[in-house]
């Protein structure tokens, strides 16, 4: 086999193997989030399957090109069908708890792809007889790793950004199908297998056209919902979770937590002609038909604005939109705001891990004006008794001092919890009152 063809095959292997991992991590976000406890096991299982593929490929002693060609066409089917949005959504919709669907997805789709493609380099180095063993394996690994680098970068930063996740799936499935033809394209069977893999991937990913807009960061859908006393209500779903709500009433009605936030800003605080920073765009409903203040939205996904304007609000957003990571923005900006609203979620209950730490809340406090207020929308248990709820609230109050906490749905297992903190307050030591040492009257007098 010509050397350049061998290098092309191992390049495709590297490109598509790591590409499949990147796509898999993105497909998991709407269902299990993107926290380290999800990404680390996923990467670990992928590497384990890859290692087992290396060992399996080392035992192949004949029909080298035929074995790799077969692996490529099977991988094309697994990638094209198994990484399709409808397949992943179906797994998590019908298999509960979510951990069962996760294991099926990893064990039935991602790991088999890694195992099959992992065999490529050890198998094909048997054909490099004109080279030293070290030279053959070194160059093969070079082209495979180069493919991995370009696959992860180009799919995440170019294909997913401009064309969506389904397009990235089609790119990987198509490359694997082409690779199988380059290795064993004589006769009708290889062509039939490659064509079946390609058409299957095309059909399940693009036809019929999906109502879901999938970007590099999230899946977005807008659906009509049935709500009493509402006029044509529609919901904006981000990663299968309700992010916002609006209807055509006069005045429009919004999700309960948005109405609560608007009441705090416009009625309780009576903000007029003030600068309001909103971290996490949601459906842009906080400023919808609200001309009293100046709103700045920060969201990491550049496409969310166009989707919200075209399908959800059906009108241009009110305010400025900045594409940036929330933490990076509050760390770098020189602007100061009279109110900061934190409403950042990657799925229904999952706040990105770097946006719950003490350092993030310190940066968020830094951008507040001296008399500014921070409002955070959290989704916690209604009783606020889980470790996550207690520790998250304690983290915020370690920066701001005592904050107001409004639980909007006390009778439900999960509730929107609105935390209100003032820039003027400071953390302070506390002394519990007891019968032996009761300083309540003195403290009350000092507080007046």
Structure tokens at 85: 């949005």
Report which secondary-structure segment, H or E, holds 418.
Answer: strand 414-422
Reply yes or no: is the peptide bond before residue 97 cis, omega within 30 of 0: yes
- Residue 102 to residues 89, 111, 135, Cα–Cα distance (Å): 11, 12, 40
Q: pLDDT class for 433, splitting at 50, 70, 90?
A: confident
220-269 per-position pLDDT tens digit? 999 999 988 888 999 999 888 888 999 988 889 999 999 999 999 999 99
Q: What is the CATH number of domain 219-422?
A: 3.40.50.150
Considering only CA atoms, which of 415, 414, 395 is closest in space to residue 403? 395
Q: pLDDT class for 348, splitting at 50, 70, 90?
A: low
Contacts of 267 (CB under 8 A, 6+ apart): none
| DSSP structural state of residue 97 | S
Tell me the domain boundaries of the chain: 3-210, 219-422
Q: What's the mean pLDDT in 388-408?
A: 94
Q: pLDDT class for 200, splitting at 50, 70, 90?
A: confident
| C-beta separation of 53 from 119 below 8 A | yes
| C-beta separation of 377 from 273 below 8 A | no
Q: Name the CATH superfamily for 3-210.
A: MFS general substrate transporter like domains (1.20.1250.20)
| C-beta separation of 268 from 288 below 8 A | no
Structure tokens at 298: 């920060």
- pTM comes to 0.85
- State the Cα–Cα distance between residues 161 and 149, nearest whole angstrom: 17
160-197 per-position pLDDT tens digit? 988 889 999 999 999 999 999 988 766 778 788 888 88
355-387 per-position pLDDT tens digit? 999 999 999 999 999 999 999 999 999 899 999
Q: pLDDT class for 143, splitting at 50, 70, 90?
A: very high
Residue 12 has pLDDT above 90, yes or no: yes
Q: pLDDT class for 333, splitting at 50, 70, 90?
A: very high
Residue 349 has pLDDT above 80, yes or no: no
85-131 per-position pLDDT tens digit? 999 999 998 998 889 999 999 999 999 999 999 999 999 988 887 77
Residue 3: the pLDDT is: 84
Average confidence score pLDDT of the chain: 91
């Amino acid at each position: 086999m010509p050397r350049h063809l061998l290098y092309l095959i191992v390049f495709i292997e590297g490109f598509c193997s790591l590409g499949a991992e990147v796509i898999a991590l993105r497909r998991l976000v709407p269902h299990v989030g993107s926290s380290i406890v999800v990404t680390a096991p996923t990467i670990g299982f992928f590497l384990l399957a890859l290692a087992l593929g290396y060992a399996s490929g080392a035992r192949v002693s004949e029909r080298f090109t035929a074995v790799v060609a077969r692996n490529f066409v099977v991988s094309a089917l697994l990638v094209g069908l198994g990484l399709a949005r409808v397949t992943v959504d179906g797994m998590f919709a019908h298999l509960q708890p979510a951990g069962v669907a996760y294991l099926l997805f990893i064990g039935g789709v991602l790991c088999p792809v890694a195992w099959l493609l992992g065999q490529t380099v050890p198998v094909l180095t048997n054909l490099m007889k004109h080279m030293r063993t070290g030279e053959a394996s070194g160059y093969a690994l070079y082209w495979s790793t180069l493919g991995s680098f370009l696959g992860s970068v180009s799919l995440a930063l170019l294909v997913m950004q401009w064309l969506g996740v389904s397009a990235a799936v089609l790119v990987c499935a198509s490359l694997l199908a082409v690779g199988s033809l380059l290795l064993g394209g004589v006769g009708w069977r290889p062509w039939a297998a490659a064509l079946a893999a390609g058409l299957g991937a095309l059909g399940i990913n693009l036809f019929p056209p999906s109502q879901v807009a999938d970007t590099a960061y999230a899946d977005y859908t807008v659906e009509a919902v049935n709500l009493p006393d509402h006029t044509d209500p529609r919901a904006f779903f981000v990663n299968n979770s309700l992010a916002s709500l609006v209807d055509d009433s006069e005045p429009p009605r919004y999700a309960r937590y948005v109405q609560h936030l608007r009441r705090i800003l416009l009625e309780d605080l009576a903000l007029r002609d003030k600068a309001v920073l909103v971290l996490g765009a949601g459906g842009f409903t906080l400023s919808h038909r609200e001309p009293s203040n100046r709103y700045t939205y920060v969201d990491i996904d550049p496409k969310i604005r166009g989707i919200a304007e075209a399908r959800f609000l059906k009108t241009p957003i009110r305010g400025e939109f900045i594409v940036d990571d929330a933490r990076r923005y509050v760390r770098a900006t020189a602007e100061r705001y009279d109110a900061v609203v934190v409403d950042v979620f990657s799925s229904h209950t999952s706040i990105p891990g770097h946006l719950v730490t003490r350092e993030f809340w310190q940066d968020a406090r830094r951008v507040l004006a001296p008399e500014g207020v921070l409002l955070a929308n959290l989704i916690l248990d209604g009783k606020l008794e889980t470790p996550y709820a207690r520790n998250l609230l304690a983290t915020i109050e370690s920066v701001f001092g005592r904050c107001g906490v409004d639980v909007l749905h006390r009778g439900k297992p999960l509730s929107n919890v609105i935390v209100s903190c003032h820039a003027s307050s400071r953390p302070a030591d506390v002394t519990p009152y007891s019968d032996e040492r009761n300083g309540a009257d003195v403290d009350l007098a000092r507080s007046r």
